[in-house]
Structure 1
């Protein structure tokens, strides 16, 4: 094993070879998985190129509750979306991890795979729900607890990703009671199997012994191999695409270090783009792969006219809403915001890896079908539906919304009015599943350091606003009428809001416009598709159409979002992608 974790770059290229078998553009979640699995063959040389730094000494990556301390810094891509018409012109910050491990180091540590139907709906060979769930399980090692009942046969025991159940704060146990009393029955491990569409349960977390487990673990920690080179603080300018065998072939990459040094590196076998939903389309467009008119408008020669590059951008819009309570014992606020409590809580974490900083403060989760509630609205009843599907395209076995409660105050960056001075709060989050709105990612120049332009087009489809606002209405009823929480509420927080007293869905619409934000589940901008899909960028084997030796492997490949979170699909896509590359290598030898 190599002693160093990474080849640190500071204006030079010491130790960097000219050629590798596989070059992976992006050391985020899927990219690290692909690299680690390919390097299991000690006869191949693998290069991982990451725009940000190594994560070894980033305390707020490894400390679960430190996640948002990585934002607004060089460890964040600092992408801000364009003004959103349906959100009263607001711009939404699209924070992404910019360091080794990527967004697996700043996410909620949450393992919600989505239902198998979600992947069956892709309709692509090799990507069924059964297959995707097996690949997600392959990535993990489950560390369970006596009080948690894992779904039999659904979990991995040998993967580098360490995960386990989350021990609830008192407020989360009370929420579980409220969910159950409001018609959402309890199932221990429902978010692993992705069913049922109505119910509550525990969500596994990528945390073990108080430390966050990230995708970087696939190529560091106990999985650092001498045939992996990790190049940090280095950006991929473009993929080199050349004429070969009567067609086009990816032969390497052009890179730029943090200090501005430029170099080209060669790939003997394949180049893999793993920059995520925002950066993968940007790399392709700078390489001359994308919509012809868009690429040529930037002075780039269009190598392959693929109009789907940067289109089909998806996310799960969500709302945080908080409640004030006079009960001081239900949340962690007093351990984080009151007086000098944070200092002692931090010292507890440093010495024992326990306490509120050792967990991510999201508690009990629930899925809900709300079509009975939606049926009162003519726009829902009159919307066109495919057989067996609702107006959002969901089957009866897929949820319309997801809920979770917070165990302390906090969330998106706009929530800055913390409950100091011995105030106490708890929150609920409502997420829209399977949004119909689609956005775009574009670039405005060939400058590798220019951030892509991101337009999520949030809630532009009226049905998205209808379902999300009705979901919030239901969530408020869970809090204010549910068995476990109804007696806790003394008002809304901040006090300038009054959502705890809202009686109708319509009252929620202005609130949604003011506060709806991202779940950081951007996906779909380099989607897979069948040969006759004009907007597909990739085939079922993740190969870029029209270019040999070039694949995209990250959540940008998803044709539709799963009804869950994107962390586990990112791992599953990485595992599946690595197997596809290995199969191609074996076929080439035959």
Structure 2
């Protein structure tokens, strides 16, 4: 018996486990389906692509995407301590003020959430109005220093875009180098930042390699979970709450397997209905991404990262190609629709990045492209059977709304314009799989066949629909969801830092603590 049972030791679950066990009188069990984060490829930043489709990856795919010519899109998600923060590109982005203010949820405006971003942060640039030091999460400048990344930023400025040296400051628009969640050149996942320092606490139990099957109920109250490790069944009870922190695909799956979802579908799958909630698994959003890849003859891409001299540099100094997060540079800008805030984000990496990260680099290359930050299209996550080990059916419905496709065409055009600039000349000798032409029709066709995910699924247990503003599942007791699935709309940018901030705030909501002020957490926010 525990006070709290947390399902999922990812970006949110690691934070919750660490914060809740600060009270020595509270007993917490944190359950992770995958193993410990002991693989070297987790901690060496440039190696994260080697984790795809391994035992540390849930290895999801979309169902046939109706607006991508029926293609299926590979969807990696972390299945390891740290979750997707252990296999992601480590880009530290909070999103835009407009994102949080538009949610319309009490307590979740930008000004109310900013103190939690600051409390979490240990930024090597120091404390400021927008940044904190002393928090668990290390945020640093890139140590890779690849000339292609700086050339990309120079080319964007030559193409007429503005410069920005802090995408998490007063303004988001412009191009520059990304800050990353790294500590001394190594990945600083949520597990590294939050969970490992708390593992020695006697009131925290961490169960790895346990697949949770469903939440148990007595009447309308959640009482614990049932799961398995190999063939052994485990029943773990929660005195106060069960907290799902399993992510935008797995949290709605667990709710549905537990009898919370569309009643008609659940009955058809022989799942006993606890609560008829047709919005569970709906509202799925993601950032579709189209990469432009240019091969060249300069031997400076990450294809050379395994050279002994670079290995030695990394071991001795934590710098060089092996410290690269791949997406080193980028920027935010607005499509021809002229929105009130950026709706497109560029990411650029000094490597041949193809086939959603599953392709093998064969040439020195630079890869960059735009992702759509404000999709209007909506997808869904639904169970296909009552077998808890089965994978869910995921349909993102990318470009269901034609406005999304039009914006992505603007993004591809902007990328082609950047490629024509002087600064990128040495690195754009040959384009791999280019559009057939720059006509609208050919660019639309190119977007459909080249779109991959930017790995940012959200929205499937949204505030105001499935959960309330304190992240409690509406209609039952003793059950919360705390992860990216609670975002009503996806934020403008990478979702790891916002998920950590959501969990920081949720830990205060659960403990009944007063929200911190910005000034109180700017310095020494451990």
1:510 lines up with 2:445 in the alignment = yes
CA distance in 2, matches of 1:584, 1:547: 23
1:281 lines up with 2:252 in the alignment = yes
CA distance in 1, matches of 2:390, 2:303: 42
Structure 1 residue 136, shift from structure 2 partner? 1.9
2:428 maps to which residue? 489
1:32 lines up with 2:8 in the alignment = no
Alignment of 1:120-135 (within 5 A): 120-135=101-116
CA distance in 1, matches of 2:210, 2:357: 31
1:58 lines up with 2:39 in the alignment = yes
Structure 1 residue 519, shift from structure 2 partner? 0.6
Alignment of 1:465-476 (within 5 A): 465-476=405-416
2:79 maps to which residue? 98
Residue in structure 1 matching 2:187, options 194, 206, 212 = 212
Alignment of 1:437-586 (within 5 A): 437-480=377-420, 482-486=421-425, 488-493=427-432, 497-499=433-435, 502-529=437-464, 536-583=465-512
Contact 1:115–1:194 (8 Å) recurs in 2 = no
The gaps in structure 1 that reach 5 residues or longer are 1-18, 145-149, 375-389, 530-535, 586-590
Contact 1:23–1:252 (8 Å) recurs in 2 = yes
Alignment of 1:229-378 (within 5 A): 229-243=205-219, 248-257=220-229, 259-326=230-297, 328=298, 331-333=300-302, 335-336=304-305, 341-342=306-307, 345-346=310-311, 348-350=313-315, 352-371=317-336, 374=337
Structure 1 residue 223, shift from structure 2 partner? 2.9
Q: Could you say if the C-alpha distance between residues 285 and 427 of structure 1 is closer, same or farther in structure 2, counting changes exceeding 3 Å?
A: same
CA distance in 2, matches of 1:151, 1:407: 30
CA distance in 1, matches of 2:39, 2:356: 21
Structure 1 residue 273, shift from structure 2 partner? 0.5
2:171 maps to which residue? 195
Structure 1 residue 487, shift from structure 2 partner? 5.5
SS at match of 2:197: helix
SS at match of 1:559: coil
Residue in structure 1 matching 2:138, options 162, 176, 179 = 162
2:4 maps to which residue? 22
The gaps in structure 2 that reach 5 residues or longer are 515-526
CA distance in 2, matches of 1:472, 1:545: 41
Residue in structure 2 matching 1:111, options 86, 92, 97 = 92
Q: CA RMSD in A?
A: 2.1
CA distance in 2, matches of 1:233, 1:333: 33
Structure 1 residue 158, shift from structure 2 partner? 2.2
CA distance in 2, matches of 1:524, 1:64: 28
CA distance in 2, matches of 1:301, 1:203: 47
Q: Could you say if the C-alpha distance between residues 44 and 183 of structure 1 is closer, same or farther in structure 2, counting changes exceeding 3 Å?
A: same
Structure 1 residue 137, shift from structure 2 partner? 2.0
Structure 1 residue 219, shift from structure 2 partner? 4.6
Query: Structure 1 stretch 166-175 or stretch 114-123: which is displaced more?
Result: 166-175
SS at match of 1:451: coil
SS at match of 1:141: strand
Residue in structure 2 matching 1:407, options 317, 338, 350 = 350
Query: Structure 1 stretch 463-472 or stretch 119-128: which is displaced more?
Result: 463-472
Structure 1 residue 196, shift from structure 2 partner? 3.8
SS at match of 2:48: helix
| TM norm structure 1 | 0.83
Larger radius of gyration: 1
Q: Could you say if the C-alpha distance between residues 250 and 578 of structure 1 is closer, same or farther in structure 2, counting changes exceeding 3 Å?
A: same
SS at match of 2:381: strand
Q: Could you say if the C-alpha distance between residues 550 and 524 of structure 1 is closer, same or farther in structure 2, counting changes exceeding 3 Å?
A: same
SS at match of 1:428: strand
Contact 2:12–2:482 (8 Å) recurs in 1 = yes
CA distance in 1, matches of 2:254, 2:307: 41
Structure 1 residue 267, shift from structure 2 partner? 0.9
Contact 1:79–1:93 (8 Å) recurs in 2 = yes
Contact 2:327–2:347 (8 Å) recurs in 1 = yes
| TM norm structure 2 | 0.93
**CA distances 1:48-94 after superposition (whole Å, capped 9, x unpaired):** 00000011x21111111111211212111011110112111111111
Q: Could you say if the C-alpha distance between residues 115 and 20 of structure 1 is closer, same or farther in structure 2, counting changes exceeding 3 Å?
A: same
1:184 lines up with 2:170 in the alignment = no
